[in-house]
Amino acid sequence: MKKIVSIIKWSFISIGLILLIVGVPLSIYSFFQEEVEKTLQPAQDLEKYAELRAQWPQDLVGHFPSEIPATASLKKFSHFPGLMQGNGHIQLRLRLPPEKIRELYDQFAKQRTISCRGNELCSMPTTFFYTSDGNNNGPFPSDFEVMVFDKYIPEKFQRKSHGVAISTSSNEIVYWADRW
């Protein structure tokens, strides 16, 4: 009888320890899970645009507008600060009047170091279409010209990239910056 009581006692102690070892971390994880998931999702709130843009180095976002133009008929924003030391992006997509798109095209064409059509591979790092209408985050459509502003140094790993993508047929511009 004492042996059965001892086995039952140690069984309860063992189960209690297992629940403690497994249960406490699971409880902590579930408590913070919502916050963790929020940090892993790109921000898309246009009201936070200026605040989030200000968190990026000026050499990467200096070409972005300081505020979203009132004349824009389409406004999309995506921001992800990255994890640890990289994989961050910031992107603002606007549809503007044709004359403004033409003006911006002429302005940024002077700054580009290289450009390519949206669905072509560029010889330099560019970006994905984070502000697309779908959830694909793939390349830009072929009507976009992706302009890169960085100088390419073949023997040096590029840790950042920035520029614009412009479609004169849809009157859209996408300001972008990536770091990894």
| pLDDT digits 0-9 by tens, 21-55 | 766 665 655 554 444 444 456 778 899 999 999 99
Q: Is 8 or 162 the better-scoring residue by pLDDT?
A: 162
- The pTM score is 0.76
* Identity of the amino acid at 51: E
Question: Would you kindly state where each structural domain of the chain is located, as residue ranges?
Answer: 1-40, 46-179
Give the least confident one: 6-15, 54-63, 94-103, 165-174: 6-15
Q: 10 Å Cβ neighbour count for 43?
A: 17
**The pLDDT of residue 58 is above 90:** yes
